[in-house]
Amino acid sequence: MGTENERHWHSQMVHEGLLFPQIYGERTLYSELAQRPGRIREMQRERLTAVLRHAVDAVPAYRRTGITVDGGADPWRVLSAFPLVGKRQLAEGMIDHCDDDIDPAVCRVLETSGTSGVPLRMIRHDDAFVHEWATALVRNERAGLVFDRKVLMPCLARLDHWFEYTSPGMGFSRVAQFGTAGRTAPDRAGFADRARGFRPDVLTGSPRNLMDFMGLLGQHGGRLPSVRSVVSCGELLVPAAREALADFFGLTVTDMYAMKEVGTIAVQCALGSYHIESERLWLEVVDDDGVPVPEGSVGEVVITDLTNLAMPLIRYRTGDFGSLAGAPCACGLPHKVMDLVEGRNPGELRRPDGTAVPVLWAVRAVRRHPVRRYQVVQEADFSVSVLVSPAPAFTAADTTELTRSLADVLGTDVRCRVREVDDGDFHSTGRRKDVDFVSFLPDVADSPGRL
Ligand SMILES: [Zn+2]
């Protein structure tokens, strides 16, 4: 597991290094932009026009719509004529959503981690990465943390070793990732010492990983005095976790809203508002029928990526719920503010003895098999059913192996089974159409429908 991970990161670092001159150039542009608020709107207009025109010219799924994009038209008005696209539609019609003349030399393929029950392969153009990393450099510059930072990313349950690299995309930050999976107590103490010796400026990870790390530090020497910033991402940061982390580290936690398909979406400012990366993304909030709701009203977050021409994401339904603020933030940043209220909570599977395991562990097991769609269901008697809509390559051996991996994850006192179902047999909870996890246990407060 370690070497595969490291190989992946080496190739990632080379990629970032090659793109760095462009990243640096855009960073300069974006730092000037923050001083001229009107310029963001102009940039959005140019980029939105370009992406919509490219979509109807070169992307089969959009060419068929018959929509025309002429230079003089209001691009937001043109955008409203585009259909919303869901994760399942995109997963099944991936090629249809790609640029006809896609050049693999300037693209990366990403697999999204399944928190919606639909595995998705996404192609991002290098430009999309350049703009994402450039906005991150500007953001870090504002926090006084630009180049030469040390970033610690604990992922205690996922890794069993320590590895470091220098990330050009992150302004040549030195990054250390580590985990203590399967390690004994003396090893764990050693990792805590090593984390301390690394003297990180920034600590980042999912709330779960940050909480686990806090637990490790609590047992071995207390908080890290070198840390100047704690950044959470990847899951909804619930108030209790936010408070516990802030108390322990003596710092306000900065939360990021991101997804693999588009990268960072919004980041908290010093006043706690989630500012949208407006240079790169256009956000709408829509109701159940897909109609945009007024500012301040809650609905599903829908994203248009302004920089990825390889596989344009236009009016992409995220499955997350939130609202857009009407008023600007008092911090002075020109970027629009959003509020995230629901979604991104992967949930937990409970065992009869009261212990729990992240549903993501079961999801990872499922994703090793060829399925079109899946859903993890915990029944009222604690048993777990995984519903799958199989892809053509799925065989009886997949069912057997998946059942065995689920038993490994959940232990012997939880009954597991895998059921092949039709699309209509998946459960839907609340307002979310595609959910990967449903719990029928009476006291589960954090199942997706009841957040
Ligand atoms: Zn602000």
Centre of ligand 1 to C-alpha 278, Å, is 13
For residue 450, the tally of other CB atoms under 10 A from its CB is 11
Q: Which amino acid makes up residue 97?
A: H
Residue 69's nearest CA partner among 83, 51, 85 is 51
Structure tokens at 164: 């470091």
Centre of ligand 1 to C-alpha 91, Å, is 35
CATH code 3.30.300.30 region(s) in the chain: 348-450
List C-alpha distances in Å: 228 to 1, 214, 390.
31, 15, 47
Structure tokens at 64: 């068929």
CATH code 3.40.50.12780 region(s) in the chain: 2-342
Distance separating alpha carbons of residues 344 and 260, to the nearest angstrom: 12
Distance separating alpha carbons of residues 126 and 129, to the nearest angstrom: 5
Centre of ligand 1 to C-alpha 255, Å, is 13
Q: Can you give the pTM of this predicted structure? A: 0.79
CATH classification for the domain delimited by 348-450, as one of 3.60.110.10, 1.10.1240.10, 3.40.1640.10, 3.30.300.30: 3.30.300.30
Task: Give the pLDDT confidence score for residue 114 in this predicted structure.
Answer: 54
- Residue stretches of the chain with pLDDT short of 70: 1-4, 113-117, 342-346, 429-435, 443-451
| Nearby residues for ligand 1 (ion, Cβ within 5 Å) | 269, 271, 273, 329, 331, 333
Centre of ligand 1 to C-alpha 329, Å, is 5
Centre of ligand 1 to C-alpha 352, Å, is 44
Q: Which CATH class is domain 2-342?
A: alpha beta
Centre of ligand 1 to C-alpha 272, Å, is 7
Phi, psi dihedral angles at 447 (to 5 degrees): -70, 150
Centre of ligand 1 to C-alpha 332, Å, is 6
Distance separating alpha carbons of residues 402 and 399, to the nearest angstrom: 5
> DSSP secondary-structure letter at 35?
T
Centre of ligand 1 to C-alpha 139, Å, is 12
Distance separating alpha carbons of residues 168 and 166, to the nearest angstrom: 6
Task: Give the pLDDT confidence score for residue 342 in this predicted structure.
Answer: 54
Instruction: For the chain, count helices (H), then strands (E).
Output: 11, 20
Centre of ligand 1 to C-alpha 274, Å, is 7
Centre of ligand 1 to C-alpha 12, Å, is 31
Centre of ligand 1 to C-alpha 337, Å, is 7
Distance separating alpha carbons of residues 151 and 176, to the nearest angstrom: 6
Structure tokens at 303: 């994203």
Centre of ligand 1 to C-alpha 71, Å, is 33
